[in-house]
Amino acid sequence: MEVTSKDLITMIELDFQKILKSSSGEMILNVKLDIEQGKLVTLYGKSGAGKTTLFLILAGLLSPEKGFVKVGNEIWTDRAKNIQLAAQKRNVGFVFQEYALFPNMTVRENLVFALGKGQSEKIVDQLVEIIDLGQLQDRNPVTLSGGQKQRVALARALVKKPGILLLDEPLSALDHEMRTKLQSYILEVHNEFKLTTILISHDVSEIIRLSDFLVEMDHGKIIRQGLPSDIFTNDRVNAKFQFTGEVIKMVKQDFIVIVTVLIGKDLVKVIANDKEAENLRVGDRVMIASKAFNPIIHKII
Amino acid sequence: MIDWNPLLLTFKLAMITTLLLLIISIPIAYWLAYTRSKTKPVIETLVSMPLVLPPTVIGFYMLVAFSPANAFGNWLDNWLGLRLVFSFEGLVLGSLIYSLPFMVHPIQAGFANLSPSLKNASYVLGKSKFTTLRKVLLPNIKPSLITGIILAFAHTIGEFGVVLMIGGNLSGKTRVASIAIYDEVEAMNYSAANTYSMILFGITFLILLIVYLINGGYFKRSHYND
**B127-154 average pLDDT score:** 94
Of B120, B136, B139, the CB nearest to A61: B120
Chain segment B8-28, per-residue pLDDT in tens: 999 999 999 999 999 999 999
Residue A296 binned pLDDT confidence (cut-offs 50, 70, 90): low
Task: Looking at the structure, tell me whether residues A158 and A251 fall in a common domain.
Answer: no
Q: Length of chain A, please?
A: 301
Which domain, by its residues, includes A289?
242-299
What CATH number does residue A73 fall under?
A: 3.40.50.300
End-of-domain residue from the set A196, A221, A236: A236
Task: Looking at the structure, tell me whether residues A30 and A153 fall in a common domain.
Answer: yes
Residue B18: name the closest of B121, B141, B106 by CA. B106
Residue A240 binned pLDDT confidence (cut-offs 50, 70, 90): low
Task: Looking at the structure, tell me whether residues A174 and A111 fall in a common domain.
Answer: yes
pLDDT score, position B134: 96
Taking the CA of residue A152 and the nearest CA in chain B, the distance in Å comes to: 13
Taking the CA of residue B215 and the nearest CA in chain A, the distance in Å comes to: 17
CB contact under 8 A, A96 and B120: yes
CB contact under 8 A, B125 and A59: no
pLDDT above 70 coverage of chain A, percent:
89
Task: Looking at the structure, tell me whether residues A222 and A267 fall in a common domain.
Answer: no
Identify all chain A residues contacting B110, using CB atoms and an 8 Å cutoff: none
pLDDT score, position A3: 43
Task: Looking at the structure, tell me whether residues A195 and A248 fall in a common domain.
Answer: no
What CATH number does residue A254 fall under?
A: 2.40.50.100
pLDDT above 70: residue B32: yes
Residue A4 binned pLDDT confidence (cut-offs 50, 70, 90): very low
Task: Looking at the structure, tell me whether residues A255 and A130 fall in a common domain.
Answer: no
Bridge partner residues of A243 (DSSP): A288
* CA-based nearest residue in chain B for residue A113: B125
A102/B contact by beta carbon, under 8 A: yes
- To which H or E segment does residue A245 belong? strand A242-253
Taking the CA of residue A103 and the nearest CA in chain B, the distance in Å comes to: 7
- To which H or E segment does residue B101 belong? helix B88-113
* CA-based nearest residue in chain A for residue B129: A88
Chain segment A190-207, per-residue pLDDT in tens: 999 999 999 999 888 788
Task: Looking at the structure, tell me whether residues A145 and A211 fall in a common domain.
Answer: yes
Instruction: Count structural domains, chain A.
Output: 2
Q: Tell me the pLDDT of chain A averaged across its residues.
A: 86
In this structure, how many other beta carbons lie within 10 angstroms of the beta carbon of residue B92? 17
Domains of chain B: 5-215 (1.10.3720.10)
Bridge partner residues of A198 (DSSP): A41, A166
End-of-domain residue from the set A236, A255, A289: A236
The rounded distance, in Å, linking the Cα atoms of A274 and A278 is 6
pLDDT above 90 coverage of chain B, percent:
61
Using left for φ > 0, alpha for ψ between -120 and 50, and beta otherwise, residue A41 falls in: beta
**B189-212 average pLDDT score:** 90
pLDDT score, position B220: 45
**B150-173 average pLDDT score:** 89
The rounded distance, in Å, linking the Cα atoms of A68 and A66 is 7
Contact present, A213 and A225 (Cβ < 8 Å): yes
Task: Looking at the structure, tell me whether residues A210 and A285 fall in a common domain.
Answer: no
* CA-based nearest residue in chain A for residue B118: A100
Model-level pTM? 0.79
Chain segment A20-47, per-residue pLDDT in tens: 887 778 899 999 999 999 999 999 988 8
Task: Looking at the structure, tell me whether residues A81 and A187 fall in a common domain.
Answer: yes
pLDDT score, position B70: 84
Task: Looking at the structure, tell me whether residues A28 and A159 fall in a common domain.
Answer: yes
| A51-55, A248-252, B66-70, B222-226: segment of lowest average pLDDT | B222-226
Chain segment A145-191, per-residue pLDDT in tens: 988 999 999 999 999 999 999 999 888 777 878 888 888 889 999 99
Task: Looking at the structure, tell me whether residues A16 and A99 fall in a common domain.
Answer: yes
Task: Looking at the structure, tell me whether residues A254 and A137 fall in a common domain.
Answer: no
End-of-domain residue from the set A185, A208, A236: A236
pLDDT score, position A186: 92
Main-chain phi, psi angles of A247, to 5 degrees: -70, 125
The rounded distance, in Å, linking the Cα atoms of A168 and A52 is 7
